[in-house]
Chain A
Amino acid sequence: TISLRKGNTRLPPEVNRVLYVRNLPFNITSEEMYDIFGKYGAIRQIRIGTNKDTRGTAFVVYEDIYDAKTAVDHLSGFNVANRYLIVLYYQQAKMS
C-alpha cells in the first residue's frame, strides 16, 4: 500500500522537526511565539532562552516534519519588532 500524501516530496537529511531560532526580541511573549510559529502547524513545545548567552534564541518543536519545513521556508528573515528572525534546523551535534 503506497500512499500518495500531499507532501510527497523528498526531504533533505537536515530537515527535522526542531528549529533553532535566533534574533528574537528579548521581551517576546508566549502568545506572540505561539502566534508566529503556530501558523505553520501544531507545536509540540517551545523552549526559550533565559540566560545572558541564550536570550533572544529559542527551540521550536513541531509535531510534524512537513510543518517544520514550511515554517523554515516562510519564517527565515521574518520581521518581528524590527528584527529579522534567523530560523535554522536544529542539529544536536553542533549544539553540545
Chain B
Amino acid sequence: LQGSFTPEQYNLLRWERDIEERNRPLTDEELDAMFPQEGYKVLDPPASYVPIRTPAR
C-alpha cells in the first residue's frame, strides 16, 4: 500500500495525523489535569455567548 504514495503524499499524510492528534476533542478531566488546581476558576460563558463554528469543524 505504501508504494502507492509519493514521498510527498506520505509526508502530508503523516503531518495530517499529527495535527489530528493535537486537535482531538479534550475531556473535562484532561483540562482539569492541565491547569494549576489553585488560583484559577472556570469562567462560565455569558448567556449571550454563541460559539463561532469554524469551517474546519
Contacts and interface: CB of A to CB of B under 8 A. Distances in A.
A67 B39 contact: no
Contacts of B35: 47, 59
Interface in A32-88: 33-34, 38-51, 53-54, 58-59, 61, 63-67
A47 B42 CA distance: 4
Contacts of A59: 35, 40
A43 B53 CA distance: 10
A88 to B, nearest CB: 15
Contact of A5 (B36, B38, B52, B56): B56
B44 A2 contact: no
Interface in B15-40: 15-16, 19, 22-23, 25-26, 31, 34-36, 38-40
A30 interface: yes
Given A38-B52, A41-B54, A42-B57, A61 B42 contact: no
21 contacts: A2-B12, A11-B22, A17-B23, A18-B34, A29-B46, A30-B46, A31-B48, A38-B52, A42-B54, A42-B57, A43-B51, A48-B40, A48-B43, A49-B39, A50-B39, A51-B38, A63-B54, A64-B54, A64-B56, A65-B19, A65-B22
